[in-house]
Amino acid sequence: MSDITDWFKSLPIFTRWWLALTIVFSLFGRFGILKAHQLVLLYEPFIKQFQIWRPVTAVFYYPLSPSTGFHFMINCYFLYNYSLRLETGIFDGRPADYLFMLLFNWVCCVVILLFSDIPLLMDSMVLSVLYVWCQLNKDVIVNFWFGTKFKAMYLPWVLFAFNLIISGGGIMELVGILVGHLYFFLMFKYPQEFGGPALIGTPSILYNWFPNQRGGIHGFGQAPVARGPAGGNTGGGGGGGGRHNWGQGQVLGGN
């Protein structure tokens, strides 16, 4: 237990509590401690009955059953891995900026899914975070199941296609990709590549609550720029893809 506690405390704050609350709410719903129908995002109760907790609990709750358990575990893996990499990568020492990204993605997911009659936000939120990491590390070679290798920029679409084929889903993943792209475009691509004004930015109140842990300048600066082809690919991949100077490839699933 002490090892688990030490590991949990070593995680950055938002990854730590996002993962913990996801497990707790899902288990509470599974064992009937909390009623599942009170945790999901539904239009009538939220809008007309003012049950304002639903957009929040719908992020953390996922219905557990023998048929959904594996998908839940994969989601938790992606949540832990890519949220951790973002929070300790480009957002290192900038908790307010990372919280703003999560809040921006969350609001967009709530608006889209509420009017799409989709009651769960976990898939879309996880994919939105994964998409941002993949865009910031798009030339990194990642390994997927069955030994397949490709650039990180294609990973969200591979996951979308994989879920579409295996379970006939894909809508929630597509929403996550859309939301992640919207954040990445407004925060990085539009100001830097198109020379446009900054259309979104972290509110000052978030810096008051979660001040930068190093330096004194708010904001991100520039998104990482890929170097030329590196001597070797991360994750044991073959081929000559370039890599960012701070990104790492990640093995996804078993080979």
pLDDT along the chain (255 residues), means of 10: 85 96 96 94 93 96 90 93 95 96 97 93 96 94 82 92 81 95 94 86 95 61 42 34 37 40
Quick check: is 99 in a domain? yes
Q: Which helix (H) or strand (E) holds 141?
A: strand 141-143
Quick check: is 27 in a domain? no
Contact by Cβ (8 Å): 15, 91: no
Quick check: is 62 in a domain? no
Output b/e per residue, 215-232; b: 16+ Cβ within 10 A. Answer: eeeeebeebeebeeebee
Quick check: is 113 in a domain? yes
Q: Which pLDDT score, from 0 to 100, does residue 217 have? A: 43
Quick check: is 163 in a domain? yes
Quick check: is 174 in a domain? yes
Q: Could you tell me the sign of the dihedral formed by the alpha carbons of 230, 235, 239, 241, in that order?
A: negative
Q: How many domains does the chain have?
A: 1
Count Cβ atoms below 10 Å from residue 177 Cβ, excluding itself: 21
Domain extent for 186: 67-213+230-236
Give Cα 27 distance to the centre of its chain: 21
Quick check: is 129 in a domain? yes
Q: Which pLDDT score, from 0 to 100, does residue 108 have? A: 97
Quick check: is 151 in a domain? yes
